[in-house]
Structure 1
Amino acid sequence: MSLHLELPADPGAAGRSRREAGRWLASLCGTDRQCPTVQDLVLAVNEAVSNSIEHAYGASGPDGTVTLRGDADGLRVRMEVSDHGRWRDPPEDPGYRGRGIGMIEAVAEDVRVEPGPDGTTVTFHGTLGRCPGLCVPERPGS
């Protein structure tokens, strides 16, 4: 079972990515409720999609697209957010901003950010719980 969304680089697309990812992830748990693990992964999706929308296309705005993919291998899920925009190095002093990747790293596993000439791809993983409706995995090192 997988998830694939092509989203316009428009701020409203972040909401759609949250809804669709949340439904898909909850369905993998055998429920329609979002447990804490699903909520964490939805937060990570939101941050990655929002970063792509805001930073990848600059002034070109909604002409760009953001792709969200999710794949499951048993209880292990892999999420990927990619764009075809241009990488911009973060400012030396981001002020009150610039915490998105750190948030993703705090709630997901194996986070990778790969900028390239054809856009940027952010991938991360999560492990869902074993009981339907109770997707609370053991944290690594617990």
Structure 2
Amino acid sequence: MPRLHRQAGGTASSVGVLRRALRRWLVGVLDDEDAIDDLTLAASEALENAADHAFVGRGSPGTITVSAEVEHGSEARAVVVTVADDGCWRPPSADPGHRGRGLAMIARLAGAHCLVPGRDGTSITLRHAC
């Protein structure tokens, strides 16, 4: 299966476009509907976080990216999805109010995840063994 790599402007309207592209790709790779739903929702939350938070204070939004590939290890196969932005990391608020639960939701939906925040961009990688 070819690798997925899509970029769009870091706006709310781009989130749905990238989410649908990822879901189409996942349907071609996984037979497990629950895993497809979980990875799509986790990636969507990461995309929404990037669109909502990464570009605050800038004159215009930057870029958000979703990439996905199948890794074949010596003992297992995994789907790896990465969501990245070229904005600036903003740590979660101590009091998120009715929001601020996206990272916890991502942690529950993805088999494993790795968040790499930075001043010049943030990425989160989701891994699902299959």
**TM-score, normalization by structure 1:** 0.81
Residue 102 of structure 2 corresponds to which residue in structure 1? Answer: 100
What's the counterpart of residue 79 of structure 2?
Answer: 77
1:9-28 equivalent positions in 2, closer than 5 A: 9-28=10-29
Deviation at 1:45, TM superposition (A): 0.8
Instruction: State how far apart, in whole Å, the 2-side matches of 1:51 and 1:81 are.
Output: 10
Q: List alignment gaps of at least 5 residues for structure 2.
A: none
1:11-60 deviations in Å (ceiling 9; x for gaps): 01111122111100001136xxx711101000011001000010000043
Q: Which has the larger radius of gyration?
A: 1
Contact 1:67 1:83 in 2 (8 A): yes
Letter aligned with residue 102 of structure 1 = A
| 1:109 pairs with 2:111 | yes
Change (3 A) 1:90 1:4: same
Distance in 1 of aligned mates of 2:117 and 2:59: 19
Counterpart-to-counterpart distance in 2, 1:8 and 1:39: 24
SS of match in other structure, 1:47: helix
| Contact 1:40 1:108 (C-alpha < 8 Å) held by counterparts | yes
Residue 139 (structure 1) aligns with: none
Q: How far does residue 127 in structure 1 lie from its aligned partner after superposition? A: 2.7
Say which is worse superposed, 91-100 or 66-75, in terms of deviation: 66-75
RMSD over aligned CA atoms reads: 1.7
What 5-or-longer segments of structure 1 have no aligned partner?
129-142
User: Which amino acid in the other structure matches residue 100 of structure 1?
Assistant: G
State the percentage of identical aligned residues.
35
- The 1:61/1:98 distance shift into structure 2, 3 A limit, reads farther
The two structures have a TM-score, normalised by structure 2, of 0.88
* Residue of structure 2 in register with 1:48 after alignment: 46
